[in-house]
Amino acid sequence: MMRLLVWLGRLGICATVGCIAGSITGLVFGALVSAAPQHAITLLMAVRVGVVLGILIWIAVLWILGVVGHYVVGDVALPALFTCLIVSVITATVVVSMNAWLPAMLLGWALGLALGTLFCRLCAITTPRRTT
């Protein structure tokens, strides 16, 4: 477990947030849909559920980063919101599109890792460097 945390730490905070958001979204969404398999889930419903889960997960992630990770919440709030919303919506729509209810948590983790790492790289490219 420690090796996984060290590896995620090297990838950046957005990758860690993406993994958390994707896995929780996959877990909750997969459990909800597998609990009531007779109901048909449309893509619009998946997007709505993804947005709601993204906001709820964002609140949990802010608590995790602020209390456990000792980050300044104001510095990570907006990037974490962006990452949580995008990863949650994409995870929910991919799970519905693929009818992948059972591996939804693993699928969400992988999507969150990929998107979070991409966001970290984009942020590193677009952030101006200080020369002092």
pLDDT computed for residue 25 by the predictor: 94
The number of beta carbons lying within 10 Å of the beta carbon of residue 74 is: 9
Give the residue extent of every domain in the chain: 2-126
pTM (two decimals): 0.87
pLDDT per residue as tens digits for the range 73-96? 888 899 899 999 999 999 999 998
DSSP per-residue codes, the chain:
-HHHHHHHHHH-HHHHHHHHHHHHHHHHHHHHHHHSTTS---HHHHHHHHHHHHHHHHHHHHHIIIIIS---HHHHHHHHHHHHHHHHHHHHHHHHHHT--TTHHHHHHHHHHHHHHHHHHHHHHHSPPP--
